[in-house]
Structure 1
Amino acid sequence: MDRLDIGFIGIVITLLLIGIRIPIGVAMGAVAIAGIYAMLGLMPAIGIAKAIPYELVGDWNLSAVPMFLLMGYVASGAGLTSGLFAAARVFLNRVPGGLASASVASSALFASASGSSVATAAAFSRIAIPEMLKAGYAPSLAAGSVAAAGTLGSLIPPSVLLIVFGLMMDVSISTLFVAGLIPGLLSGVMFIALITVRTTLNPSLAPRLKEHYTLRQKIDLIKDVWPLPVLIAGVLGGIFTGIFTATEAGAIGAFLAAVIALFRRQLSFSVMRTALIDTALSTSAIFIIVVGAALFARFIALSTVPVWVTGFFEGYSALSVILMIGVLYLVLGCFLESISIMLLTLPVLAPLLAHLGVDLIWFGILTVKLLEIGLVTPPVGMNVYVIRSSLGNVIPLGKIFAGVSWFILADLITLALLIAFPVISLWLPAFMAN
């Protein structure tokens, strides 16, 4: 059996293991070591199994992951995100579908702190959906808007997916963060535009609220939510201006979150202890996945599968390949979770993208956008199931998927714009560089 056959067999076995719920990091690592042993023998397999985890975990850039996670956990645990929906509700209450649009706007800010789509969806399913149902909103619109808005955490920096992409493809994480800002905001604007148009054409989806707020009430709400925008501005401003790197920004963000919480007298030993434990657990899970993916990438490279893939697509234009990859990601997104798709496919696609001269920053934004869509597509749709779990049987699963389907359409339009006009993703990094 030649190396190419071993490579394809390894890919199939890995997919089967993931399909039967073996943890992805374990599945990729085990298949990689077994495949390298089949190709090169025992001692090379042992050597690679020892060297790659040591080199990878010792990579300074990877320290951004626990730091940004800690920032999010401290901000959430100390209540720095608690007033977001209330404030957005006040300033968007005159817009058709204002509560749903407020969910999108507040989710975008929350996502900037947490970096997690699932965490964003879970938080706002308990905060925003009950308020929308109480106001007479259609359950499908209420749940669909929160499920879709939760995906903004994947693209708006700081994003764990962008960090992992940068490590896997050896591109600047800071540049990826800068590139993700405009596409992330564009996604949010598209969601709000969709909500506004739908509720204007069909007012029964979202009855207009007759709420009036005084200037004093608005000022009080701004006072309640100022810490999070300040935190985000401090972190992203430092990255965008080059004062510090994305890796350093994570540590500075975690420190700022703790200082702001302490200033507001919301930082307790219990909050800090919980944040540190949650950070350690999440970081361990991510590191296991990344180590498994790195071993798998070495196995795939040794198997010559990327060479075969590059040869197979010889003669195709870069745009054609990007569109085919997009279809592949959308299909995989129906069955696998985001990080699994990225770590399984990038080792195979990287040489092909290099051969075609595709800008990896642009491709990184497209990848994360495609993975965002996968978070709400059936039958897996992780954000949808998170909302269902949070709400119990209040809204049937079918209604949640029906509501989110409109937002998938908006996402596909956004994706088409990002593909047709790469400048949307690349203009800000070029501007900041100059």
Structure 2
Amino acid sequence: MTGVELGIAALVLLIVLIALRMPIGIALIGVSILGLWMLTNWRVAWGSLGLIPYKFAANWILSSVPMFLLLGYISYHTKLTEGLFRAARAWLSVLPGGLAIAAILGSAGFAAVSGSSVACSATMGRIAVPEMLKSGYHPQLATGTVAVAGTIGALIPPSVIMILYGIVAQVEITQLFLGGIAAGILTALGYILVVMIRVTLNPSLAPSTDDRASWAERIESLKDTWPVILIMLGIFSGLFGGVFTPTEAGAVGAFLATLVALLKGTLTWGRFQAAIQETVLTTGALIIIGVGASLLTRFLALSGTGEFLSSSILGSGASPAMILLGVILIYLLLGMFLEPIGAMLLTLPILLPVIDGAGFNLLWFGIIMTKLLEIGMITPPIGMNVFVIKGIVGKSISTGAIFRGIWWFLVMDLILLGILVLFPQLVMYLPTTFG
């Protein structure tokens, strides 16, 4: 069996193991070590298992991941973002579907202190869904809006997905963050447009209310937004002003979130322990997947499979547009079954050379890929954000009803994806201007 044949057989085995629900990290490590053993010998395979995990984990930029995760978990457990929704509700109550729009803007605000889509959905779900249901909003609109609004969390920096992509693709993290701002804002505006169109066409989805805040109440509500604004200013002013690096920005953000929570009096020892525990567990899982992806990259390189696949695709005569369309379809399909970071690290060793060889900008592609992965967070059968909301509402609303509530937003997501593909300058403007 040639190296390429062995590599293709290993990829087929990997797909089978993942389909059988084996954890992605374990499947990646197991298949890669087995492949290296069969390709060379046990000594090389064992040596790779000792060397590659160290090289991956020793990457200094990777240390920003647990820090940004800690920032998000502290903000979540200490309820630093609740004021965002209250302020948005006070100011937007006059609009059709005002509470749903407030949930979208609240998620966008929370995204600026968290790199997690799931954390955004969980936070806004606990705050906004009960308020919308109490106000007579249709359950599908209420739950669907919050589920999709959570996807903004990985687009607006900081973003764990972008950090990991930058490490693998060797793209500057700050540049990715700048590119994600436009994509995140555009996504939030698109979701707001969906809500307004749906409620205008069918006012029964979001009954109007006379409970509109006065100007005095609106001004008063802005005082509750200071925790997030302070953290955002601290992170972004230092990061984009060159005071500290993206790696240091995570630590600064986590420190600011802890300090703000102490000042507000919402940080207890139990909440701090919970934030630390979730950070450690999530970081551990991400490192295992990352180590597996690094081992797979080494195996594909030694076997010649990666070069064979990329040269076959690039030499097939397909246009760059067709190659990009194929990559988009792959990520949309994988998003239905895999969690985002696993899907990204599983595919990048194969697809990055193809994208680069087709002449696409890797920074721009990183934002497109992030958008694709976040679409997967709401698509059946395994839309993680949907199941987060299901866990919040319990038996009162079925999973099917929540999935039905996201379809209008899913159409908008595909439209937004098309806009970002056709007009790459939307993504590249900020990185080009301030890079």
1:292-344 per-position Cα deviation (integer Å, ceiling 9, x unaligned): 11111211222222222222222322222111100111111112221121111
Q: Letter of the aligned partner of 1:238 in structure 2? A: G
Q: 1:209 corresponds to which residue? A: 209
* Gap runs ≥5 in structure 1: none
| CA distance in 2 between partners of 1:251 and 1:338 (Å) | 24
Q: Letter of the aligned partner of 1:173 in structure 2? A: I
Contact 2:3 2:303 in 1 (8 A): yes
Q: 2:390 corresponds to which residue? A: 388
Aligned to 1:300, the other structure's residue is in SS state: helix
RMSD between aligned residues: 1.4
| CA distance in 2 between partners of 1:29 and 1:227 (Å) | 41
Q: 1:332 corresponds to which residue? A: 334
- 1:84 Cα deviation after fit: 2.0
* 1:25-44 matched pairs, under 5 angstroms: 25-44=25-44
Contact 2:93 2:213 in 1 (8 A): no
| CA distance in 2 between partners of 1:9 and 1:333 (Å) | 23
Contact 2:94 2:212 in 1 (8 A): no
Contact 2:72 2:119 in 1 (8 A): no
- 1:357 Cα deviation after fit: 2.2
* 1:350-389 matched pairs, under 5 angstroms: 350-389=352-391
TM-score after normalising by structure 2: 0.96
* 1:41-60 matched pairs, under 5 angstroms: 41-60=41-60
* 1:10-25 matched pairs, under 5 angstroms: 10-25=10-25
Q: 2:416 corresponds to which residue? A: 414
Contact 1:96 1:208 in 2 (8 A): yes
Moved more, 322-331 or 272-281: 272-281
| CA distance in 2 between partners of 1:415 and 1:294 (Å) | 29
* 1:4-403 matched pairs, under 5 angstroms: 4-313=4-313, 314=315, 315-403=317-405
Kindly indicate whether residue 432 of structure 2 is the aligned counterpart of residue 427 of structure 1. Answer: no
Contact 2:121 2:147 in 1 (8 A): yes
Q: Letter of the aligned partner of 1:406 in structure 2? A: W
- 1:24 Cα deviation after fit: 1.1
Q: Letter of the aligned partner of 2:358 in structure 1? A: L
| CA distance in 1 between partners of 2:134 and 2:414 (Å) | 31
Contact 2:310 2:350 in 1 (8 A): no
Moved more, 288-297 or 312-321: 312-321
1:243-297 per-position Cα deviation (integer Å, ceiling 9, x unaligned): 2211110011111112222222333333323222222122111111111111112
| CA distance in 2 between partners of 1:288 and 1:179 (Å) | 28
TM-score after normalising by structure 1: 0.97
- 1:9 Cα deviation after fit: 1.5
Aligned to 1:393, the other structure's residue is in SS state: helix
Q: Letter of the aligned partner of 1:164 in structure 2? A: L
Q: Letter of the aligned partner of 1:247 in structure 2? A: T
| CA distance in 2 between partners of 1:66 and 1:340 (Å) | 17
Q: Letter of the aligned partner of 1:149 in structure 2? A: A
Q: Letter of the aligned partner of 2:99 in structure 1? A: L
Contact 1:76 1:82 in 2 (8 A): no
| CA distance in 1 between partners of 2:157 and 2:230 (Å) | 15
| CA distance in 2 between partners of 1:118 and 1:245 (Å) | 26
Q: Letter of the aligned partner of 1:204 in structure 2? A: S
Moved more, 100-109 or 129-138: 129-138
Contact 2:335 2:376 in 1 (8 A): yes
| CA distance in 1 between partners of 2:430 and 2:414 (Å) | 22
1:340-369 per-position Cα deviation (integer Å, ceiling 9, x unaligned): 211111100122122222110000000010
* Percent identity between the two aligned chains: 45
Contact 2:29 2:291 in 1 (8 A): yes
1:46-95 per-position Cα deviation (integer Å, ceiling 9, x unaligned): 11111111111111000000111111122222221122221111111111
| CA distance in 2 between partners of 1:41 and 1:376 (Å) | 43
Matched residue pairs, number?
Answer: 433
Moved more, 376-385 or 408-417: 376-385
| CA distance in 2 between partners of 1:274 and 1:10 (Å) | 39
| CA distance in 1 between partners of 2:320 and 2:166 (Å) | 21
1:184-219 per-position Cα deviation (integer Å, ceiling 9, x unaligned): 110000000111111112111111121232334223
Contact 1:118 1:382 in 2 (8 A): yes
Q: Letter of the aligned partner of 1:364 in structure 2? A: G
| CA distance in 2 between partners of 1:163 and 1:122 (Å) | 22
